[in-house]
Amino acid sequence: MSAQQAIKVENLNKSFGSGDTFVDVIHDASFTIYKGELVALVAPSGAGKTTLLMMIGCVDTPVSGKIWIGDEKVYDNKWLTKTTRKIRREKLGFIFQAHYLIPFLNVIDNLVLLPQANKVDEKVAKTKARELLKYFDIAEKEKAMPSQLSGGQNQRVAIARALVNDPEIILADEPTAALDSARSIDVVKMLKKIAKEQNVAIVMVTHDERVLPYCDKIMKIENKKTVFEDVSAVK
């Protein structure tokens, strides 16, 4: 069976300012990422990693180019929908360096918030949330508050939250930045497992070269364009 397209980008451009303040950040970037892949997005600070992630996450607006999410073209020199919020809610999951769990909601309520915003029945949403908590070996923590969890447990809840709406794509911005080497590798191994078992594409911005051998692909920003590097070169 051929790989399913998760993200396709053609000739994507992003710049800021004008005249003396003009900065060209991404220039004619083109790539395709498939479901089941964990892709590391690597570049020096200020080279546009997070900007690129936010454009394919339908958060930041490009200057020009085309973006497909799955088989749906969502951007063609302009957004092809009145609001990108629906795309983010239904097709995308986000993981950040900080977990950003809502501190006054317990674990299960943090997880069902997004499905209920998408008008998913509460009982259905809680069933899905409990399946994910079991998958991450923290089922017994569903009534716990975020302040009662360890850093690693909060992180697992945050990853479960990214999966609860059955996204086609997960976008992770420096999810291992605050972790030691062993825990960073554990998180990336977990993300790789999720990509395969849940058949989702995961794009992970990282500075951490220790985790690159565990990814399926490495995408770099060089001269404002995107290029792929062979993972075997960093093993």
DSSP 4: P
Tell me, what's the pLDDT at 71? 92
Q: Which of 31, 33, 39, 35 has its CA nearest to residue 10?
A: 31
Phi, psi for residue 44 in degrees, rounded to 5: -60, 160
Q: Is the pLDDT of residue 182 over 90?
A: no
| Cα–Cα distance, 36 to 34 (Å, whole number) | 6
pLDDT at position 2, please? Answer: 61
Do residues 204 and 178 lie in contact, with contact meaning Cβ atoms separated by under 8 Å? no
Q: What is residue 1's predicted lDDT score, i.e. its pLDDT?
A: 47
HSE toward the beta carbon, residue 90, CA cutoff 13 A: 11
Whole-number average pLDDT of the chain: 89
Which residues, including other chains, have CB under 8 Å from residue 153's CB and lie 6 or more apart?
A: 138, 141
Kindly indicate the confidence band of residue 90, based on its pLDDT and cuts at 50, 70 and 90.
confident
Check the CA dihedral 22-27-28-32 and report its sign: negative
pTM of the model: 0.88
How far is Cα 94 from Cα 202, in angstroms, rounded to an integer?
10
Domains and CATH numbers, the chain: 5-234 (3.40.50.300)
- Residue range 102-128, pLDDT digits in tens: 999 999 999 998 888 888 888 999 999
Over residues 2-47, the pLDDT tens digits come to: 679 999 999 999 999 888 888 889 999 999 999 999 999 998 887 8
pLDDT at 40: 95
Q: How sure is the predictor about 165, in pLDDT bands with cuts at 50, 70 and 90?
A: confident
Token digits of residue 220 = 């770099």
Of 116, 211, 206, 112, whose CA–CA distance to 163 is shortest?
112
**Alpha-carbon span 80 to 16, nearest angstrom:** 22
Task: Kindly tell me if the per-residue pLDDT of 72 is higher than 70.
Answer: yes
Confidence of residue 174 (pLDDT cuts 50, 70, 90): confident
Q: Token pair for residue 16?
A: 């800021």
Amino acid letter for position 190 = M
C-alpha dihedral, 97 to 100 to 106 to 108, nearest 10°: -70
Instruction: Determine which helix (DSSP H) or strand (DSSP E) holds 85, and give its type and residue range.
Output: helix 85-91
Determine the pLDDT at residue 235: 63
Q: Which residues pair with 9 in a beta bridge?
A: 31, 67
Is 24:16 a contact under the CB 8 Å cutoff? no
Please check whether residue 231 is in contact with residue 192, taking contact to mean a CB–CB distance below 8 angstroms: no
